[in-house]
Amino acid sequence: MQGMLSWPMWMVLLCVTSYCLAVAIYRLTIHPLAKYPGPLLGRITDWYSVYQAASGDRHLNFLRLHEKYGPLVRFGPNRLSSNTADGLKQIYGTKCNTRKASYYATFAHVFKGDSSNTIIDPVKHGRKKRVLTQALSEKSIAAMEEHVLNNVRRFWGVVGSDGGGEREEGRLEQPERYDEVGGVFDV
């Protein structure tokens, strides 16, 4: 009875094992994201994220990872998660040096066109981002404040004036729930 694996098969197995080991060592030591903490398997392979997504509690896993490793966690070979405003600014800010992953392109069919959240091309994204930056600037938001407050006042005129009598279109049926609505709007 001959050996189970022939000489060429041993060589293939040795090459594949060596390659996997070299990739793991690279990702743990000299990779640009090697300095960020995270679970060992997550720093080596994306299969960690696949497993977490399939288990259905990926969001809870992120919570546990941030509790254990801090505000910036490496959960994949090329993936970081941040749970602070400063971290988000570093990743998504106007002067950041990051690029969206190619999987964002899969969402293009959902939005039926280019969306500033999913567009990968830096030039196209820059044009859309400039428009949004102007619309969401402090000055623009301050200019809209009175309009927003007028709508809130109008809303309260509809739900706040009914003393619980006959129900009219657009009015709440249970006056005792007004406090719950008021807590949401905190007016």
Closest CA to 48 of 72, 16, 81: 81
- pLDDT for 43 equals 96
Per-residue pLDDT tens, the chain, 187 aa: give them.
456 778 788 888 999 999 999 999 999 999 999 999 999 999 999 999 999 989 988 899 999 999 999 999 999 999 889 999 888 777 777 677 777 777 777 777 777 777 777 788 878 888 888 888 888 888 888 888 888 888 888 777 767 655 444 555 555 455 555 554 544 444 3
Torsion of CA 125, 130, 135, 137, to 10 degrees: 120
Domain boundaries, the chain: 23-98, 100-134, 137-160+176-187
Cross-strand partners of 70: none
User: What long-range pairs does 110-114 form, CB within 8 A, spacing at least 24?
Assistant: none
Which tokens is 175 given? 């006056």
- pLDDT for 39 equals 96
Torsion of CA 129, 133, 135, 140, to 10 degrees: 180
- pLDDT for 36 equals 94
C-beta separation of 94 from 59 below 8 A? no
- pLDDT for 1 equals 45
CA distance 62 to 83: 9
Question: Which residue bears the tokens 């969001």?
Answer: 59
CA distance 92 to 130: 13
